[in-house]
Structures are given as structure tokens and as C-alpha cells.
Amino acid sequence: MLEPLADHIGTLVRDGPALFSDDTPVKLQTKTKSKKTQTPRLWSYLRDERPWSGQAPPCVWYQFSVDRKGEHPATHLKGYTGTVHADGFTGFNGLFGEGKAHEQACLVHVCRKFIDEFERTGSEIAKGAILRIAQLYAVEKMAKGKPADARAKLHMEHAEAIRYALGRLPEARAYLSDGHF
């Protein structure tokens, strides 16, 4: 009964220039002799253009799978050529390439790795990376609500100082030129 609505939401999400993607583990107990639970996934695909003053209303499309294989996002987003903001899960890699979607690395996940390293070792390099990533968040505060082209200009003007860090994160380079994130 709700499948046509879900299909329509999926179309709306995939029609956008950019989307955010993540998967969440859920517990599933099946009616078998075993009391073990499975760990299927709920995949979420979000289209939210508010950060760059887009006109489309935000919407999320959810898809269920019994496992975390990369074939699932590849099937869900087949033919999508926009930008996918993802967490670096290798299962998304099949989405990216010539004639396919573009990857935008999630800076929260990037920063988290540096935070973990700093907490574990006290590394000054990790601390420096955290501070530079914080500069990106300051730029994002200035860019919030501006059109994509104005956001990209702000990124170029104010984030060039961290270019060497972004050079270590090839998927994050789109941050400098793609105002959708």
C-alpha cells in the first residue's frame, strides 16, 4: 500500500544533485529454531538542499537489506550521477567512477579518526588536523544557507589554507569546488 509512495520518495531523492547516505544495523530475529538474531541494514538516502538554498523539500528514502554488502547501495542508486556524501564504507565504492556518482567524504568521520589518534597518542599532528578541520566547520557556518556557487566561492577563499590536508583525502577535495556540502 505504501510502496508507491516509497518509490516516489526514492525518485525525488535520486533526482537531486547531491545526497547523504548511511546505513544503520538493526536486529532481526527470524522464526527459526535458532534464537540467534541477524544484523540486516536500514539504508538511508537523504536529499536536503536547505544548506545551499535549494528549492526541493528535504526527503529521506529508506531501503532494507539482510546484510551490508555493497551490492545494495549500488542497486539502490543505480544510474545516479550526482554527489554522494558517504562515510567511507568500501561498499559504496561501486557507486563512484567515470559516468557514475561522485564521492564527498564525510568530514565528521575524517575528524573522528584524528580525534581517536590524538586521544590515544597525544599526537601533535592529529591535533593540528583536528584544528584545521575545525576551520572547515567555521567556513561552513559562514556558508550556511547560501547558494551552491557562493558556498563554493567561500570554500575556495577560506579553505585553501588546509589544501595539504585535503590532498591526503582525495574524496574530500570536492569540498573546495562543490557547494552542495
CB atoms within 10 A of CB 123: 14
Please give the Cα distance from 40 to 86 (Å, whole number): 19
| Residue 1 banded pLDDT, cuts 50, 70, 90 | confident
**Residue 133 three-state SS:** helix
Lowest mean pLDDT of 32-36, 47-51, 113-117, 146-150, name the range. Answer: 32-36
pLDDT at 181 over 80: no
pLDDT at 171 over 80: no
3-state SS class at 38: strand
Of residues 41, 40, 45, the one with CA closest to residue 6: 45
Lowest mean pLDDT among 31-45, 86-100, 136-150, 152-166: 152-166
**How far apart, in Å, are the Cα atoms of 24 and each of 61, 87, 147?**
13, 12, 31
pLDDT at 160 over 80: no
pLDDT at 42 over 70: yes
Per-residue confidence (pLDDT) for residue 174, from 0 to 100: 74
With a pLDDT cut of 90, the percent of the chain lying above it is: 62
Helices (H) and strands (E) in the chain, counts: 7, 7
With beta carbons less than 8 A apart as the criterion, state whether 85 and 107 touch: no
Q: Which residues have CB under 8 Å from 149's CB, separation 6+? A: 179
CB 105 within 8 A of CB 93: no
User: Does the pLDDT at position 57 exceed 80?
Assistant: yes
- Give the pLDDT of residue 142: 92
Q: What is the dihedral of CA 40, 65, 107, 166, to 10 degrees?
A: 120
What pLDDT was estimated at residue 165? Answer: 61
